A and B are shown apart, each in its own frame.
Chain A
Amino acid sequence: MSESISPDVTVDSRGAACPGPLMDLIGKVQDADPGTVIELQTSDSGSKGDVPEWVEEAGHELLDTVEHDDYWSLYVETTK
Chain B
Amino acid sequence: MTERIVIVGGGTGGTVLANRLTERLEPEIDSGDVEVVLINDGEKQFYKPAYLYVPFGKKDVSEASKPIRDLIPRAVDFRVDRVERVDTDRKRVTLASGGGLSYDQLVLATGANLAPENTPGLVEGGHHFYGPEGAEALREELAEFREGHIVLSVIGVPHMCPAAPVEFTLMVDDWLRKRGLREDVEITYTYPIQRAHGLQSIADWVTPIFEERDVNLETFFNVQEVDPDAQVLETMEGKEMEYDLLVGIPPHEGSDLVREAGLGDDGWVAVDQHTLEAEHAEDVYAIGDAADIPTSKAGSVAHYAAGTVAARIASDVRGEIPTASFDGKTVCFIETGMDEATFVSFDYGSEPTMREPSKPIHWSKLGYNESYWLTARGLI
Residues of A at the B interface (CB closer than 8 Å) are 15-20, 22-23, 26, 29-30, 50, 53-54, 57-59
A15 pairs with B273, CB closer than 8 A? yes
* B209 interface contact, C-beta 8 A: no
Q: Residue B198 contacts which of A15, A19, A57, A59 (CB distance < 8 angstroms)?
A: A19
Given contacts A15-B294, A17-B349, contact A53 B237 (CB under 8 A): no
B157 pairs with A58, CB closer than 8 A? no
B236 pairs with A29, CB closer than 8 A? yes
Q: Mark B218-248, 1 if CB is under 8 A from A, else 0.
A: 0010101000000000001110000000000
A50 pairs with B237, CB closer than 8 A? no
Residues of A with C-beta under 8 A to B200: 18
* B194 interface contact, C-beta 8 A: yes
Q: Residue B194 contacts which of A16, A29, A54 (CB distance < 8 angstroms)?
A: A54
B158 pairs with A23, CB closer than 8 A? yes
Interface size of B as a range: 10 to 19
**In chain B, what residue has the closest Cβ to A13?**
B294
B222 pairs with A26, CB closer than 8 A? yes
Q: Residue B222 contacts which of A15, A16, A30, A50 (CB distance < 8 angstroms)?
A: A30
A53 pairs with B194, CB closer than 8 A? yes
B165 to chain A, nearest CB (A): 14
* B193 interface contact, C-beta 8 A: yes
28 residue pairs from A and B, CB less than 8 Å apart: A15-B294, A16-B294, A17-B294, A17-B295, A17-B348, A17-B349, A18-B198, A19-B192, A20-B294, A22-B193, A23-B158, A23-B193, A26-B222, A26-B236, A29-B236, A30-B222, A30-B224, A30-B236, A53-B194, A54-B193, A54-B194, A54-B220, A57-B237, A58-B220, A58-B236, A58-B237, A59-B237, A59-B238
- Bound: A50/B192 CA distance, A: 11
- Bound: A31/B194 CA distance, A: 21
Further 12 A-B residue pairs, CB within 8 A, beyond A17-B348, A19-B193, A26-B192:
A15-B294, A17-B349, A18-B200, A19-B157, A19-B198, A23-B192, A30-B224, A53-B194, A57-B220, A57-B237, A58-B238, A59-B238
Residues of A with C-beta under 8 A to B157: 19, 23
**In chain A, what residue has the closest Cβ to B200?**
A18
Most-contacted residue by chain A among B158, B192, B224, B273 (CB, 10 A): B192
Residues of B with C-beta under 8 A to A50: 193-194
Residues of A with C-beta under 8 A to B198: 18-19
- Bound: A57/B239 CA distance, A: 10
- Bound: A54/B194 CA distance, A: 8
Interface of B: prevailing SS: loop
Which 9 A-B pairs give the minimum distances between C-beta atoms?
Answer: A17-B294, A19-B193, A57-B220, A58-B237, A19-B198, A23-B157, A57-B237, A16-B294, A58-B236
**In chain A, what residue has the closest Cβ to B349?**
A17
Residues of A with C-beta under 8 A to B349: 17
Residues of A with C-beta under 8 A to B236: 26, 29-30, 58
- Bound: A15/B270 CA distance, A: 12
- Bound: A19/B294 CA distance, A: 10
B92 to chain A, nearest CB (A): 30
Residues of B with C-beta under 8 A to A19: 157, 192-193, 198
- Bound: A17/B349 CA distance, A: 7
Residues of A with C-beta under 8 A to B238: 58-59
- Bound: A20/B162 CA distance, A: 13
Residues of A with C-beta under 8 A to B348: 17
B277 to chain A, nearest CB (A): 15
A33 to chain B, nearest CB (A): 14
Residues of B with C-beta under 8 A to A22: 193
Residues of A with C-beta under 8 A to B237: 57-59
- Bound: A57/B194 CA distance, A: 10
Residues of A with C-beta under 8 A to B192: 19, 23, 26
**In chain A, what residue has the closest Cβ to B238?**
A59
Contacting A at CB under 8 A, from B322-349, are: 348-349
Residues of A with C-beta under 8 A to B294: 15-17, 20
B156 to chain A, nearest CB (A): 10
A74 to chain B, nearest CB (A): 15
**In chain B, what residue has the closest Cβ to A59?**
B238
